[in-house]
Amino acid sequence: MRFTLNAREVELNVAPLARLLDVLREDCGLTGTKEGCGEGECGACTVLVDGEAVCACLVPVAQVEGAEVVTIEGLGDDHPLQRAFMDEVGAQCGICTPGMILTAITLGPRPSLAKIRRGLAGNLCRCTGYEAIYRAIHRAS
């Protein structure tokens, strides 16, 4: 299985139907991608595949053959969204945070608050009450 992962070509010997989530965490050691529900409902496992936010718990790794996959690690340590989440206290336990940030990237430049709310509707957070997350994304944009 070959694909681009965080701007690096990877070739893995994994079962084609393995979940992308498990391959990222267990075979690639990228534990920034989190598992919440495991069934496509919480968005904690969100990664970018060819620029689209997808739930890695629902995607067999065979589907990303030849694609470009970006996980939270691919953003580096000082992305403006990460900094804004810190400044606005948009992360508490942090389980939802990688998925929130990667989904926010797909909203494009300067999204309105309404667009942020709509865009993040599939990303659940049990800790923050959401307002700090929306503020962080607005601030970063």
Is residue 18 close enough to count as binding ligand FES by CB under 6 A? no
Is residue 53 close enough to count as binding ligand FES by CB under 6 A? no
CB of 19 to ligand FES, least distance (A): 9
Candidates 41-49, 64-72, 75-83, 112-120: pick the segment binding ligand FES (CB under 6 A).
41-49
Full DSSP string of 43-66: -TTEEEETTEEEETTT-BGGGGTT
CB of 11 to ligand FES, least distance (A): 25
Residues 6+ apart with CB under 8 A from 129: none
Calculate the CA dihedral of residues 45, 47, 49, 51 and round it to 10 degrees: 140
Residues 6+ apart with CB under 8 A from 118: none
Candidates 38-46, 64-72, 78-86, 106-114: pick the segment binding ligand FES (CB under 6 A).
38-46
Q: CA geometry: angle at 85 spanning 80 and 86, to 5°?
A: 100
Contact 54, 86 (CB under 8 A): no
7 or 17: CB nearest ligand FES: 17
Full DSSP string of 95-112: SSHHHHHHHHHTT-SS--
Map residues 113-132 to x or -, x wherever contact with ligand FES holds by CB under 6 A.
------------xxxx----
Q: State the residue for tokens 């969204």.
A: 81
Is residue 82 close enough to count as binding ligand FES by CB under 6 A? no
37 or 113: CB nearest ligand FES: 37
Is residue 93 close enough to count as binding ligand FES by CB under 6 A? yes
Point out which residues bind ligand FES (CB under 6 A): 35-38, 40-45, 55, 57, 91-97, 125-128
